[in-house]
């Protein structure tokens, strides 16, 4: 399974864009990039995912480099409620004979949005 | 409402006792997962199941056991063989062949005294 690397922590001013990077240099062609966030002592919340095209939804944008070795999650206008740990994950879609259909989490980036 | 439910939210047990954590989903998902989270750490995969009556070990399966007799249920037993059972346990489910996300429960915080 591909592994991900994220900076341990970041600060962002309220109202500004938060750009969270993720490296996944060993990603395979059929592995999607998923982003989740976790607010203290709660279950992780899905944000967005993508394969190779950039994606946008009501929460965030996901920019994936052309070689797919890294990606950036963008929260366009960060608020105090966006303070959380953000996880970048790669996941194989569908079942494989090796049974590697699973989500592997790293340690994430602790984002603090400052007033 | 569709979702994934873990119970109880807080659980206390004496050392040496087995304890079973409940996870139920009504999302009609084939795949279910159990993760463990220690303070300040990321999530580590304990077990996962792709279909009823089938499950695989994750990265830290020692001291844990699971069953998947029904599609909607994936209980996790923390046995006395688990050296450090005190942790936050998270259950998740997802579609098997779809390009969709996993849904997580709100977790069970297990404290062994």
| pLDDT for the residue numbered A98 | 45
Check if B110 contacts A (Cβ < 8 Å). no
| pLDDT for the residue numbered A26 | 86
Of the candidates B79, B74, B73, B39, the residue with the CA atom closest to the CA atom of residue B61: B79
Enumerate the β-bridge partners of residue A6: none
CA A61 to CA B27: how far, in whole Å?
Answer: 26
Which residues of chain A have a CB within 8 Å of the CB of B104?
A: 36, 43-45
Q: Are A70 and A22 in contact (CB under 8 A)?
A: yes
Tens digit of each residue's pLDDT (9 = 90 or more) over A67-90: 999 999 999 999 999 999 999 998
23-42 in chain A: CB under 8 A from chain B: 32, 34, 36, 41-42
CA A89 to CA A108: how far, in whole Å?
Answer: 9
Q: Tell me which DSSP letter residue A44 carries.
A: -
| pLDDT for the residue numbered A100 | 47
Residue ranges of chain B with pLDDT lower than 50? none
| pLDDT for the residue numbered A22 | 96
Check if A21 contacts B (Cβ < 8 Å). no
By CA distance, what is A51's nearest residue in B?
A: B99
Tens digit of each residue's pLDDT (9 = 90 or more) over B82-95: 999 999 999 999 88
Check if B27 contacts A (Cβ < 8 Å). no
Enumerate the β-bridge partners of residue B12: B111
Q: Are B9 and B90 in contact (CB under 8 A)?
A: no
Separation in Å, CA of B39 to nearest CA in chain A:
10
pLDDT > 90 in chain A, percent? 68
Separation in Å, CA of B18 to nearest CA in chain A:
24
Tens digit of each residue's pLDDT (9 = 90 or more) over B44-57: 999 999 889 999 89
Tokens of B48: 């996962």
| pLDDT for the residue numbered B62 | 96
Q: Going along chain B, which residue ranges are E strands? A: 4-7, 10-13, 19-25, 31-37, 43-51, 54-57, 64-66, 76-78, 87-94, 103-104, 108-112
| pLDDT for the residue numbered A7 | 96
Name the burial class of residue B97, with classes exposed (0-12), middle (13-18) and buried (19+) by CB atoms within 10 angstroms of its CB.
exposed
Separation in Å, CA of A50 to nearest CA in chain B:
9
Please state whether B46 falls in left (phi above 0), alpha (psi between -120 and 50) or beta.
alpha
Which residues of chain A have a CB within 8 Å of the CB of B45?
A: 102-105
């Amino acid at each position: 399974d591909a592994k991900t690397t994220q900076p341990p922590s970041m600060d962002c001013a309220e109202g500004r864009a938060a750009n969270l990077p993720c490296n996944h240099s060993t990603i395979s062609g059929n592995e999607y990039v998923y982003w989740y966030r976790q607010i203290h002592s709660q279950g992780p919340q899905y944000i967005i995912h993508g394969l190779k095209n950039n994606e946008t939804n009501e929460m965030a944008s996901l920019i994936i480099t052309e070689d797919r070795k890294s990606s950036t999650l963008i929260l366009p206008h960060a608020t105090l409620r966006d303070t959380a740990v953000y996880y970048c994950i790669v996941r194989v879609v569908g079942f494989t004979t090796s049974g590697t259909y699973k989500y592997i989490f790293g340690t994430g980036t602790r984002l603090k949005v400052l007033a | 409402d569709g979702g994934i439910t873990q119970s109880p939210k807080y659980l206390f047990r004496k050392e040496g006792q087995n304890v079973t954590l409940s996870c139920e989903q009504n999302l009609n998902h084939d795949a279910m997962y159990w993760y463990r989270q220690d303070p300040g750490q990321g999530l580590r995969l304990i077990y996962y199941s792709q279909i009823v009556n089938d499950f695989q070990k994750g990265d830290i399966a020692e001291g844990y056991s699971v069953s998947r007799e029904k599609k909607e249920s994936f209980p996790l037993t923390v046995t006395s063989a688990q050296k450090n059972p005190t942790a936050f346990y998270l259950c998740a489910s997802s579609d098997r062949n779809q390009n969709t996300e996993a849904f997580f429960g709100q977790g069970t915080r297990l404290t062994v005294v």
